[in-house]
Structure 1
Amino acid sequence: MTYLFSTVTSPKIVYIPQGSVFKSIAHLQEEGVNVHTIDAFILRLLGQPQQGWIDLKEEKMSRIEYLYKLTTAKAATRQITLIPGETTVVFLRQLSDELSLDRKALQDAYAQHAPFKEGSFVPDTYSIPNKISEKELIVHLLNESDKKMRSWADEYKQPFSKEKWLQIVTKASVIQKEASSVSDMPFVSSVIDNRIKKGMRLQMDGTLNYGEYSHQKVTAKRIRTDRTPYNTYKNKGLPLYPVCNVSKDAIEAAIHPKRTDYLYFVRGKNGEHIYSSYFSTHRKNIVNATK
């Protein structure tokens, strides 16, 4: 009986993932809450824990009260969507504007906790509680993204080492920016591989749509003046970092490109890409696409 009235210390707002009561308790333990396996059995007697964000109102309470609140309380949330191909700079601005959060605090938290400079988020629709700090939000989004990326790595039988996964996400981000559709992605992936094998520069405009330039048209002047590693007109190979946040489709295309000998593509009048293996054909395709 004394155990039920011992004190539990917890953040006022906690996130409960989908799954069993044991998974809920394990997640809370990972978050630093002083709950134990036995609490899962007590929780079962009280009911099913709520899923998503829980607003507990207090940081300290008795164990029985804490477990009961997990089954009854729920936080008011708002949905926010990160679309595939969007950059983190733009997404953090969106979070700041729509959730009334401090932009610099979001940026600082991302810089402190993200594994990559760009591409650490998984595009999705997230339910976010109205009362959450900038650091808590960033850590939550990164943790959820990390879980999804790990599941993708397992599905495609890829090692989830930081260096290896960074290369996959970087390639996927270029595909995400360049492809005209999901079905087009494996073809863009093949062009990337073919050009790199031949020692050719990628010369892809999409790599210059990084950061704050996400939605800006890439001009000839921009290509000449941009001296960052993202400029694939001046630098060989892929950029050092991803240029955006990527979808599962782009990851799959990066890992499983089409087998082609294509080296060039241009967007046709219908919005789809026209591929070619020879520069002479590519030039003709450009002329036809602009008529």
Structure 2
Amino acid sequence: MSFQMGPALLFCPADRPERYQKAGERSDGVIVDLEDAVAPADKQRARGAILAQLGSAGDVPELDPSRTIIRINPAGTEEFEKDLHCLKHTPYRHIMLAKAESAEQLRELEGYSVIALCETAAGILNAAAIAAEPNVVGLMWGAEDLLASLGGTSSRTDDGAYRAVALQARSMVLLAAGASGKEAIDAVYVNIPDLDGLAAEARDAVASGFGSKACIHPSQVAAVRTAYAPSDVELASATELLDAAAAAGSGVFAFKGKMVDGPILKHAESTLRRAGR
């Protein structure tokens, strides 16, 4: 199974069907949220909204199934079972499991392409085992739920930087995903007006190896897309380097006064991949 929707994934509350189409138009992939974005009393109505937009005669849904992820409630809950019952009657087969904590939970989701959202202490510590499950196509991490599970009060310091425990969790999820060849999705940036802060964090996500970043507001999409799109200078540099490597043949070689070997060439290839080349 593979996963390629990014770079900007946009959350949309499942109980707000009037936002579905706009979310699809303004992002690279939509995460229709049946979990935290929906109040407990509204969850059944939210599932009904997902079914209603499909049409009674099998009409084409407002949301493209190939670009839609349904975030379901945590395994072991009554809402989890109801979510799965709902999804059986839809064309949606990309799901995000909230608060994923063990490989065993993923085995209950056979037939779905699953993004495991590791956002508790148990989920972070078991990220490698979770990522290794065959139906897992990606891992995402969540800072606020993680800190809440630890009894903390905030994932960030007063200057907006992540606390050490959040940074460790971010790295562990990224490494677990990479070790199993799965997509890594960076957490949301909750300070919506701070687009500069979002842009900086998105650029770091790109440089670190995250394949995409989740957004909670349409205004954040452009900043994420810009961060993931290589500049003309970066493209020219990567192309020139790879051309030089082809001319040099195999092995280490010097380029503009610097030693170039395999890892450096992979960086250049990654830049071209982000540009769709």
Do Structure 1 and Structure 2 share a fold, with TM-score over 0.5?
no
Give the greater-gyration-radius structure (CA): 1
Query: Normalising to structure 1: TM-score of the pair?
Result: 0.23
Query: Normalising to structure 2: TM-score of the pair?
Result: 0.24
Structure number with the higher strand fraction is: 2
